A and B are shown apart, each in its own frame.
Chain A
Amino acid sequence: MSLLELREVDAAYGAVQALRGVSLSVARGEIVALLGANGAGKSTTLRAISGLLRPAGGTILFDGQPIGGLHPERVVRLGIAHVPEGRRVFPGLSVRENILLGASNRRASRAEMAQDASAMFALFPDLVRFADAPGWTLSGGQQQMLALARGLMAKPTLLLLDEPSLGLAPLIVQQVFRIIRQIRETGTTVLLVEQNARVALSIADRGYVLETGRLAVSGAPAELWNNEEVRAAYLGGRVAKAG
């Protein structure tokens, strides 16, 4: 059974239809990439899963249980952590406080939380020397690390990542994706939204491509990447031979 399954999910922002009958599934332990151009509905799909947006139709199953329309506070308690686009670090709280608040979805003792926070600082050593600095002072890459650490503090079964590479230097992007791979190795399932299809497909087990709210194609990373039609139409790659 899939860990996450979307069946014919519709969603809208007011009168604007954002998702039309999207069906996809994520198996336990997978990294699945959700690709597509700007405005294709990638972020909307994540928002529907995490409860920020109530789906207008269809079913969302997590571990076999319907979760569509549940409040975000309840969804995260079930084990789905959503690291939204733009990192959304709390600017006025310190790095350590941002990390600690990531555990708000579970009942953890203070000692347990401090221990988990130390584990995060071990996973993201760049954050250690900023532990007591306010969130707004961090660079984009550091904020992305912090957003990931805060998401992992929830001890999620499923991690939803929205555009983790956005606005980061190539070297930092590699670092972030190395960590995403590590996260999966610890048993966390990842649904990854990316505009940077090349990087996303390099670590994904499978990929889905959305086009204006509809599912266009899906398949193995190599299949998607080597399909020139797909690449030209949806992934922003040029038809010219990739070097």
Chain B
Amino acid sequence: MSIALQLLFTGIGIGAVYALVALGFVLIYRATNVVNFAQGQFAMLGAFGMVITTEGLGLPYWLGILLTLAAMALFGALFNLGVYYPLRHRSFLPVVISTIGASILLTNGVLATYGPEPATLPGLTDLPGLNFGGLFLDSQYLAIIAITLVLVVLQYLFFERTLLGKKLQATSQDKEMASLLGIPVAGMIMLTFVYSAVLGGIAGILVAPILFVSVGLGAQIALKAFAASIIGGFGDIPGAIAGGLAIGVIETFGAFYISVPYKDAYAFVLLFAFLLLRPQGLFGEKVSQKA
């Protein structure tokens, strides 16, 4: 029993990271109706930002986080201007190909400048973690879960309680109508890219101490996060969070009880099951039910 609880805790921790990246997928999808396949690279960049600022430049951890997040915000803006904006009037496919191209460019750019050697990063705190009977709560996993929880609550309050949040929702529901009302649509999309890049950066910063920081990190997280957003019902915010957590928990249990080498496959078993049995996802409605 205590082993199951231990696995659950670990699974939720890693699942929270998938959920943050999945949120980035969903927010950009809702604002622009395209899938940003470079979302995982945002997390990779965040992790490398931490390695460069703290290990490379020797800055304190908190300053590394601030600088990395500021750089991610700027990067999100540039990404919007360079990858999405010029193609905004085109159909789904050109934009998607553009984000795939950006993803390849980012991976190889980091590979060329930093090299293939994986780096390691110390955890957010030196605290040893908590012991509850037989259950050990690692401090980094606790930090991941707590920060994700706070982010999700803040994001919910922002979208549901502020006028700016409502304008973002209006933009994602009907861009033409939003612009007729005087809502600056291009600005709303810019804001979405900046926020999604910061979210990806946070995911990277949080996950860096528990995984190796390498150029493969982005693809590894992105595939799981993408599966998470499909399981949740693509475009659904609570669904992306639930999907991320579900994948984290299932792969942790699968690795322990079935086989470690197949760890990365469990997410896709779950994905296939959903695509076959419930293609609209956990919370997605059937297209016919949409008004």
Decide if A104 touches B167 in the complex (CB within 8 Å).
yes
Main secondary structure of the interface of B (DSSP, over half): helix
The one of B169, B174, B181, B291 in contact with A104, judged by C-beta atoms closer than 8 angstroms, is B181
CB distance from B249 to the nearest CB of A (A): 29
Binds B, one of A24-32, A95-103, A185-193, A198-206: A95-103
- Check if A50 is an interface residue, CB within 8 A of chain B: yes
- Check if A18 is an interface residue, CB within 8 A of chain B: no
CB distance from B27 to the nearest CB of A (A): 14
The one of B166, B182, B185 in contact with A97, judged by C-beta atoms closer than 8 angstroms, is B166
- Check if B52 is an interface residue, CB within 8 A of chain A: no
Decide if B180 touches A52 in the complex (CB within 8 Å).
yes
Q: How far is the CA of A135 from the CA of B177 in the complex (A)?
A: 14
CB distance from B79 to the nearest CB of A (A): 23
A90-B169, A92-B169 known; A104 vs B176 contact (CB < 8 Å): no
Q: How far is the CA of A55 from the CA of B191 in the complex (A)?
A: 30
- Check if B183 is an interface residue, CB within 8 A of chain A: yes
Decide if B180 touches A136 in the complex (CB within 8 Å).
no
Q: Which residue on B lies nearest to A92, using beta carbons?
A: B173
A72-B180, A76-B182 known; A91 vs B173 contact (CB < 8 Å): yes
A50 proximity list for chain B (CB < 8 A): 180
A93-B166, A136-B291 known; A101 vs B181 contact (CB < 8 Å): yes
- Check if A84 is an interface residue, CB within 8 A of chain B: yes
B178 proximity list for chain A (CB < 8 A): 101
Q: What mask results when residues 173 to 216 of chain B are scored 1 for a CB within 8 Å of chain A, else 0?
A: 11011111111110000000000000000000000000000000
CB distance from A115 to the nearest CB of B (A): 15
Q: How far is the CA of A91 from the CA of B170 in the complex (A)?
A: 9
CB distance from B166 to the nearest CB of A (A): 5
CB distance from A222 to the nearest CB of B (A): 33
- Check if A54 is an interface residue, CB within 8 A of chain B: no
The one of A52, A82, A100, A135 in contact with B163, judged by C-beta atoms closer than 8 angstroms, is A100
Q: Tell me the A68-111 residues at the B interface (CB within 8 Å).
A: 71-73, 76-77, 81-82, 84, 88, 90-93, 97, 100-102, 104-106, 110
The one of A76, A110, A135, A136 in contact with B181, judged by C-beta atoms closer than 8 angstroms, is A76
B170 proximity list for chain A (CB < 8 A): 90, 93, 101
Q: How far is the CA of A71 from the CA of B180 in the complex (A)?
A: 9
Decide if A77 touches B182 in the complex (CB within 8 Å).
yes
Q: Which residue on A lies nearest to B183, using beta carbons?
A: A104
A76 proximity list for chain B (CB < 8 A): 180-182
Interface size class of B (residues with CB under 8 A): 10 to 19
Using a Cβ–Cβ cut-off of 8 Å, how many residues does chain A contribute to the interface with B? 28
The one of A84, A101, A110, A150 in contact with B166, judged by C-beta atoms closer than 8 angstroms, is A101
CB distance from B172 to the nearest CB of A (A): 8
A106 proximity list for chain B (CB < 8 A): 182
CB distance from A131 to the nearest CB of B (A): 14
Decide if B179 touches A73 in the complex (CB within 8 Å).
yes
Decide if B181 touches A102 in the complex (CB within 8 Å).
yes
Decide if A71 touches B179 in the complex (CB within 8 Å).
yes
Q: Which residue on B lies nearest to A91, using beta carbons?
A: B291
Q: How far is the CA of A150 from the CA of B179 in the complex (A)?
A: 13
The one of B173, B179, B185, B290 in contact with A93, judged by C-beta atoms closer than 8 angstroms, is B173
CB distance from A76 to the nearest CB of B (A): 4
B173 proximity list for chain A (CB < 8 A): 90-93
Q: What mask results when residues 261 to 291 of chain B are scored 1 for a CB within 8 Å of chain A, else 0?
A: 0000000000000000000000000000011
A71 proximity list for chain B (CB < 8 A): 179
CB distance from B26 to the nearest CB of A (A): 14
Q: How far is the CA of A102 from the CA of B179 in the complex (A)?
A: 11
- Check if A154 is an interface residue, CB within 8 A of chain B: yes
Q: How far is the CA of A87 from the CA of B264 in the complex (A)?
A: 47
Scoring B170, B177, B181, B182 by chain A CB atoms within 10 A of each residue's CB, the highest score goes to B181
CB distance from B226 to the nearest CB of A (A): 23
* 25 A-B pairs whose Cβ atoms sit less than 8 Å apart in the complex: A52-B176, A72-B179, A72-B180, A73-B179, A73-B185, A76-B181, A82-B180, A84-B177, A88-B174, A88-B177, A88-B180, A90-B174, A91-B291, A92-B173, A93-B166, A93-B170, A97-B166, A100-B163, A101-B166, A102-B181, A104-B181, A110-B163, A135-B291, A137-B291, A154-B181
What are the 4 A-B residue pairs with the smallest beta carbon separation, nearest first? Answer: A105-B182, A136-B291, A88-B177, A104-B182
